[in-house]
Homo-oligomer: A and B are copies of this chain.
């Protein structure tokens, strides 16, 4: 497993820290408004810094996204761990899948970045996405052991399903995304399972 610096290596200078925080705050607002493809120039402008400052803190859009999502993605992984104690393995998986879907759709266009990042090891988001995938895998394995999910379903299948239905939700309506999630999960259930 590759280690990623979760916090800046050394203490930042006060002004740098201030700018870093302001950039993150503005990015959150602007991504929420215009999606993750929003103008980085605009973010710098609204944060009151030159665009070079933004690039020095966040070399790529993905790096900015990673900093912005770090806590949320950690929370999602933690939630999977907690759900391992849920009485129903099957229900736990569904609950988590829905939570993952909600996370994946906080910003328009985010799901595409997240899907790309699981494939691309050089992405700033890769490690976080991998952690989420692994967290989901635990829940999946438990559901498979309980006999409610097909044995041939992989963690990648689950990750792809969640992302694809989030993408649908983004392109059409959240309700349509939910419908496809239900169909997809049903298709992954063991044949003996009731519907």
Secondary structure class of chain A's binding surface, majority of residues: helix
**Is the CB–CB distance between A115 and B172 below 8 Å?**
yes
Q: How far is the CA of A180 from the CA of B188 in the complex (A)?
A: 9
**Residues in chain B near residue A168, CB distance under 8 A:** 115, 160, 163-164
Chain B neighbourhood of A179, CB < 8 A: 157, 160
CB distance from A191 to the nearest CB of B (A): 5
**A118 to chain B: which residues have CB within 8 Å?**
172
Q: Which partner residue on chain B sits nearest A156 by CB separation?
A: B176
Subset of 12 A-B contacts with CB under 8 Å: A115-B171, A116-B171, A119-B172, A153-B183, A156-B176, A160-B168, A160-B179, A160-B180, A164-B168, A164-B180, A167-B167, A191-B195
How many residues belonging to A are interface residues under a CB distance threshold of 8 Å?
Answer: 29
Cβ of A152 to closest chain B Cβ, rounded Å: 9
Min C-beta distance of A143 to chain B, whole Å: 14
Do the beta carbons of B180 and A157 come within 8 Å of each other? yes
